[in-house]
Structure 1
Amino acid sequence: MRRARLLVSKVDPWSVLKMAFLLSVALGIVTVVAAIVLWTVLDLTGIFNQVDSLLGTLAGSEGSGFELKKIASLGQVASFATIIAVVNVVLLTALSMLSAVLYNISATLVGGVGVTLTDD
């Protein structure tokens, strides 16, 4: 069995930027799909109607006329999830690039991270 001890002394910021962008886009797609699935499950189980009847009961016999589906429709939930996903893509990509630059600066001072590779 051979062993090689290596030192990660520099990380290419451009490759970190590309990888972080692709992974954050995948996370954004998962966020939008999860929000749509969650809304659909809540609608199919009747949670929206139960919340409406609960609020009608709490408001009194005259009724409040409040409908949760009008405030949180599927289109609005999907739009909000898309906005959150886009903001996350920008923030995660920028933070990953900044982390790579900060790692390179600190690696010049400390020497980097040691990695041991083995061959089985």
Structure 2
Amino acid sequence: MSSSMADKLKSKLPQKGEKAPKGPEAKQVRLKLVYVDFMSALKLSFLLGLAQFIVVVIGTFLIYLVFVQTGIFETANSVAGEVLGSGSGFDLNSVASIGKTVGAAAAVGLVNLIVITVLGAICAVLYNAAAKITGGLSVGFTNQQ
């Protein structure tokens, strides 16, 4: 009886040259993306714009601190004094103070935030219009574990 059971188990094992089964095979599914929700695209583009706003302001602040610590502003003042003459009274620190620099970066970041938000919404509308004509974008997915 045990030899017949052993024979049955041996027949279930992969033979030479066969690959051992690795579990359930991944099922592949092909779907079509035919619609992008306008509000979802608007929210996502706003968050991306907000992220770039934060990066621009903090990056500008950090670069300004590096310029101050390395003495680039003093070097630029001395070069400007030589080029314009010693009596010109040019002072880069009065033109590019920390408040003005970060304020300008915030203004640029705010404009970019608005532009990115609007472009995200426009892209959603354009995709939805194109998807009505072409039938959408075909996308393949697989279930891997």
Q: TM-score range by the shorter chain?
A: over 0.9
- Asked if 1:36 corresponds to 2:61, the answer is yes
Greater length-normalized contact order (CA 8 Å, ≥ 6 residues apart): 1
| Cα offset, 1:63, TM superposition | 3.5
Find the residue that maps to 1:117 and give its secondary structure.
Answer: strand
What residue in structure 1 maps to residue 98 of structure 2? 74
Cα shift readout 1:3-59 (whole Å, capped 9, x = no counterpart): 000100000011000111111111101110001111110111000000111111123
Kindly name which structure, 1 or 2, has the bigger radius of gyration based on alpha carbons: 2
Matching residue within 104, 111, 114 for 1:87: 111
Q: Supply the distance in 2 between the matched residues of 1:56 and 1:64 (Cα, whole angstroms).
A: 7
Higher helix proportion:
1
What residue in structure 2 maps to residue 18 of structure 1? 43
The runs of at least 4 aligned residues of structure 1 exceeding 3 Å deviation read none
Q: Supply the distance in 2 between the matched residues of 1:31 and 1:58 (Cα, whole angstroms).
A: 32
Q: CA RMSD of the aligned region, Å?
A: 1.0
Give structure 2 stretches of 5+ with no counterpart: 1-25
Structure 1 vs Structure 2: percent identity of aligned residues? Answer: 38
Name the TM-score, length of structure 1 as normaliser. Answer: 0.95
What residue in structure 2 maps to residue 99 of structure 1? 123
Aligned residue pairs total: 119
Name the TM-score, length of structure 2 as normaliser. Answer: 0.79
